[in-house]
Copies of this chain bind each other. A is one copy, B any other.
Amino acid sequence: MKSTTEYLWFNTKDRCTIQDITSQVEQVVKKSGVKEGLCLVNAMHITASVFINDAEPGLYKDQIEWAEKMAPYGRDYAHHNTGEDNGDAHLKRNLMGREVVVAITNGKLDFGPWERIHYGEFDGQRRKRVLVKIIGE
């Protein structure tokens, strides 16, 4: 069994934003030499997400507006008694998910036609990490 571990760093300009990180994950897969296996990609911070959906700017806008509607910023969350102001971002992360697990087949991410891995940031403007872990042969 082979394994590979890499950390990707992000520091977004906006508080809430979505970006396609597929090519960065593909480089880790290539470097790993794994032909058959599983690739875990997860946000390491609890106010960010990793998920798979279409790489389409209109949909990015829809997803951010939808997350905002489901868990609005600026409400009186109990979490704010700690001095934080990002209760909404923790709930948005629950909504959009922490991680994806992607099959590696014949040395490549085994994707459908429109699947792309995205980093969803809900409390950005600071450095945060995403973990890529690969196991297989």
Contact = CB atoms under 8 A, between A and B. Distances in A.
Interface of A: 1, 3, 5, 36-38, 40, 42-46, 51-54, 56-59, 61-63, 66, 70-71, 77-82, 87, 90-91, 93-103, 105, 110-115, 128-129, 131, 133, 135-137
Main secondary structure of the interface of A (DSSP, over half): mixed
A53 B94 contact: yes
Contacts of A3: 36-37, 136-137
Given A52-B46, A115-B44, A133-B103, A62 B87 contact: yes
A36 B100 CA distance: 18
Taken together, the copies of this chain in the complex come to: 3
Contacts of A93: 53
A43 B44 CA distance: 21
Contacts of A128: 112
Given A70-B70, A91-B62, A133-B110, A99 B96 contact: no
A78 B58 contact: yes
A79 B58 contact: yes
B110 A90 contact: no
B135 A36 contact: yes
